[in-house]
Structure 1
Amino acid sequence: MLHTANRLKLVDEGYEMLVFTDKSIKFDDNLDILQMELAHSDMLVIVAVNDHKSIVWLQKNSQSIPNVICFESSLSLSNKLGGKFIENRGQNIFGKLADVAKLRSGNESSDIVKTVSDAWKRHNTDDIRFCLLVIINSYIKPVPTLKNLRAKGLSTISCMLKNCRTEILDCLFDPNCRKALQCLNACSPTDQVCNYRCIASYESPYLEAFSLCVLQKNNCLELDAEIPSKPSVSPLTIYRGEVLSHEIAEDLFVGWLGSLEWSWRVVAGQNPAYDQFPCQYQLFYRGKARGSFWYEPVFQVKTLEGKLIWRRRKYRVKRGNIPGTFYFSVLDNGVVSKEFWTIIDVADDFSWGLFHYSGAAAAAGLSYTGAVLVSPDGKYPPEMSRQRVISALEKCSIKEWELYTVDNCLCTGAPLGIPEGSSLHSKIRHDLEDRQVSSTR
């Protein structure tokens, strides 16, 4: 929750979130400060509080707070939204509280309940932050970044039927495309893990055509999203004693390709929507055209029907204004995603690297951030490098414990290889002999 408090500042500097443990209540540690802060708070979030003394004290001292939200805490603690108490049902987990619907009209309240519940249950820092933002947006003040949560109504259907009738029919008559739509409809719109797994499981030419028409070309859902500007991270500036240039930065991306069949393998990442996929290979290379540069991730997907399949994407890469920064773009199943990547650090011996990205799929209304820790063999860097890795992650406002480890077992048969005529390193040369790695895939 301390980390969540810091990450809330990345959304709006005006948010102030203070974190206390119930030791403040049981041992009078900072009790005066806690009482003073509660007196003018807009929201109290209670997490995993079950001590009797703490419960009694909170019941007495939270009466003036209009919004009290309890997660995984004693049933004796009450939830309150907009100044109205909510009866507990079964468990004191916000998503289980059906009576929230009485506070607001129509389906809006039910949507808020489901959205918050789904966010909390995903148990990652981005979703916990999102959970708090939904409550702020609904009961305290508007949160501009949540504008895509608003329902669009009949205008969506009208737009789709007017502009994309053929694509809709083709999709509905195709089993894979139909399953994809059914799967996506069952996902929370903000659950990037669920949404992307549906797409990766059932992708087809008909799904691509449907998305291209409905979302990308006609924006029937009236969605929009921008690449997040925070956290603002600075790239590596010196590598092997030399000032980082665009050419050297591209070489760092190219990595081990040439000595191995891939540039890097992903060890772990911070964004669960992408890092859930096993056996991730990165291919960076220079194209035939002068100045062109490409990125092709190759990864495995365990479909919702239990099959293991390989997927591959192709990103166009352009240099940013500062060496070590890049703009990526990709057409992924009919939707354009644009990303801003930064090389945070790379070990001198190429034993590991850390790359940060911020991106948005504007037509899908999704924006995201993340980072990938990479190595030549998909294994975590040696212990002697751990502090440097942690420092690199801190630059991205990421804690080591936030990383999701990529499953790099059973990775045979990856569809690797790059187009004929592509080129690799420009300035940095290295051989596989410099460091022994496993080339098993």
Structure 2
Amino acid sequence: MSPEASPTHLRRHFPSPFLLRRSSFSAVVGSCRFPSVRFPHCHPSQLLRLVSSPPSFLPATTTDFRGRPTKIPAILEQEAQETVDPPPGSPVKIVAVVGGGSVSPLKSATWEEVMLHTAKRLKWVDEAYEMLVFTDELEESDAGRTKILETELESADILLVVAVTNQASIDWIQNKGKLVPNVICFDSSSKLVNKLGGTDVQKESKDVVETVAEAWSRHNTDDIRFCLLVVINAYIRPVPILKNLRSKGFSTLTCMVKNCGSQILDCLFDPNCRKALQCLNRCSPVDQVCNYRCIASYESPKLEAFSLCVLQKHNCLELDAKIPEKPSVDPMAAFRGQEMTHEIAEDLFVGWLGKLEWSWRVVAGQNPAYDQFPCQYQLFYRGKAKGSFWYEPVFQVKTLEGGAMVWRRRKYRVKRDKLPGTFNFSVLDNGVVSNEFWTIVDVCDELTWGLFHYKGAARVAGQSYTGAVLVSPDGRFPSEKERKRVASALEKCGIKEWELFEVDNCSCHDPPLGIPDGSALHSAIDVRDLKLASN
């Protein structure tokens, strides 16, 4: 690799292509649920680390997925700062410079497209975050645009450089960007030096650098946004949604021992629960795929009792996550020419159940934490009790011992919200309650595909998240003639098609389907004449 193409200090290589390809949304032990998308990097195993690590190890270090000691990322453990933080809501300006025509790993979308989309997603977190995106084709562009870039850099808080290897561009950035206090460079020339808080970054072991580098390496839009939030939080002003990511150290341990001593001992003496502790200690604190696979591989009543006591009953982490307000997604207004009603909306969820053994199969979703798991089935049905409605996702997990594929199933209570086509979901999963707000964005008349958006929070786990799932009766993408409508539905959710991660639906043998006796299905839509699309 030539020097111009080599990664900068923030770039970090991982031994596993799985980690490079996949990211996940956090799961504090016991709070992993399906299907959901969580805000990334919630230090998923900090509770179990407190139990399984020596007390003297707690305040400063943890163990990453390679098994070597490393500092807890700065977002998880912040030291007191001498400077006074700017007030919440004060403007933050980011200037991004990307290589002209450079292609990202996100399904070959250009880096310019990815950064423009990231700028919109930053607004979901805080309207005061502004990111301006420029290409490095400075000599080819008109002098006016180059002057605009130079002017914007004078007041920029962060300069983000992506895929810049052209020598003329490197020289220009080094000259014009030298006064920007924070400079972070990815997939660019090694001649470009990273800078945080006005100081050049030379050591890759620096806390913020490690956190940002690891997140960037997973190459998805949630982690790209997270990288910027980490820098804002550490060097510009606090980011409220990151406040739940800081380790509580001994105060958490005290709460656990005082209130949950028997559950801790039961977990340590239970083989599966103990293996979960050991497995989580081998995971990087911000690698939720690793953390969830540990929990899904070693699920046990003892592990559930542990998290139920520590998190749900006593909230030892002292967290209080809220369901995100943005994006605000409108439900579809009508189906087959009829105004949307609660009954029709519920029938759309029920989907193909009755005609098939399931309501829908998940084709793809916006979050790799969700979509890494193969063979996802959705079961929606009306319960025996009047007005009751239930959702049960069924999915596979590849266990860490022997790589066996095992089935997992969850159960959500579903209640109508005020507007037809919107619903409130709740689930107690592995000891932790999660609440979600779902919206039926679009379903085609023939029920050959649908798009459901959701946003939610696991309050005591400190996690908030948003996402969407594209579904069909057979787990295949909609036909080409439907792609324009699918793209329009995704756009309503603030999602690009190149953000989607496909679910592996190839080898789905003997899924544990079925619904309780006495359950009811459709009440307003007749699915008896529906036909699956031919291959």
TM range (shorter): over 0.9
Corresponding position of 1:177: 273
Match of 2:121 in 1: 7
Q: Which of 314, 320, 335 lines up with 2:417 in the alignment? A: 320
Gaps of at least 5 residues in structure 1 are 90-96, 101-109
Aligned with 2:199 (options 66, 72, 84): 84
1:70 matched to 2:167: no
- Indicate the RMSD between aligned Cα atoms, in angstroms: 1.5
| TM-aligned CA distance change 1:250 to 1:264, over 3 Å | same
1:231-310 equivalent positions in 2, closer than 5 A:
231-305=327-401, 306-310=403-407
Question: 1:114, CA displacement in angstroms?
Answer: 2.9
Are residues 338 and 207 of structure 1, via their aligned partners in 2, closer, same or farther at CA, if it must alter by over 3 Å? same
How much has 1:25 moved relative to structure 2? 4.9
Mind listing any 5+ residue stretches in structure 2 that lack a counterpart? 1-114
Task: Confirm whether residue 354 of structure 1 aligns to residue 473 of structure 2.
Answer: no
Matched, 1:330 2:445: no
**1:121-132 equivalence runs, <5 A:** 121-132=217-228
User: Which structure has more RCO (C-alpha within 8 Å, separation ≥ 6)?
Assistant: 2
Aligned residue pairs total: 419
Distance 1:274 1:195 in 2: 13
SS in 2 for 1:377: coil
Partner of 1:204: 300
Query: Partners of 2:131 and 2:531 in 1: how far apart?
Result: 47
State yes or no: 1:37 paired with 2:133. no
* TM-score normalised by structure 2 residue count: 0.76
Separation in structure 1 between the aligned mates of residue 221 and residue 283 of structure 2, nearest angstrom: 19
Letter in structure 2 aligned against 1:86: V
**2:164 corresponds to 1:49:** yes
Equivalent residue for 1:406?
A: 503
How far off is 1:179 after superposition?
A: 2.0
Residues 32-81 of structure 1 deviation map (CA, whole Å, 9 limit, x = unaligned): 11101101100101111111111111110111100011112111111111
Distance in 1, matches of 2:460 and 2:282, equals: 19
Is the 2:345–2:440 Cα contact (8 Å) retained in structure 1? Answer: yes
Q: Structure 1's 417 and 379: CA in aligned 2 closer, same or farther, altered over 3 A?
A: same
After TM superposition, give the deviation of residue 195 of structure 1 in Å. 2.8
Distance 1:28 1:243 in 2: 51
Q: Deviations over 1:100-119 (max 9, x none)?
A: 3xxxxxxxxx2x33321221
Tell me the SS of whatever aligns to 2:424: strand
Aligned identity (percent) is 71
| CA-to-aligned-CA distance 1:410-440 (integer Å, 9 cap, x gap) | 1011000000000000110112x4313589x
Amino acid in structure 2 at the alignment position of 1:24 = L
Q: After superposition, give the CA deviation of every residue in 1:120-166 in whole Å (9 maximum; x if it has no partner).
A: 11111001101100000000111101001222121111111111111
**What residue identity is the alignment partner of 1:429?**
D
Does residue 416 of the first structure (1) align with residue 513 of the second (2)?
yes
**C-alpha displacement of 1:274:** 1.2
Q: 2:448–2:533: 8 Å Cα contact kept in structure 1?
A: no
Aligned-residue offset at 1:183: 2.8
2:264 match = 168
8 A Cα contact 1:25 1:57, kept in partner: no
C-alpha deviations, 1:8-46, integer Å up to 9, x for none?
000000111011111135545621111011011001011
Which residue of structure 2 lines up, in the alignment, with residue 18 of structure 1? 132
Encode CA deviations 1:347-387: one digit per residue, 9 max, x unaligned. 00000000000011112111111100000000100110000
Deviates more, 1:182-191 or 1:386-395: 182-191
Q: Please tell me the residue identity of whatever aligns with 1:343.
A: I
Question: Does the Cα contact within 8 Å between 1:176 and 1:203 map onto a contact in 2?
Answer: yes
Matched to 1:127, the amino acid is D
Contact 2:138 2:169 in 1 (8 A): no
Which residue number corresponds to residue 9 of structure 2? none
Matches of 1:248 and 1:28, distance apart in 2: 55
Structure number with higher helix proportion: 1
Give 3-state SS (helix, strand or coil) of 1:113's partner. Answer: helix
Distance 2:309 2:140 in 1: 59
Q: TM-score, normalised by structure 1?
A: 0.92
Given that 1:45 and 1:70 are in contact with CA atoms closer than 8 Å, whether structure 2 keeps it comes out as yes
Distance in 2 between the 1:436 and 1:159 partners?
54
Matched residues in 1 for 2:240 and 2:138: separation? 34
CA distance in 2, matches of 1:62, 1:277: 43
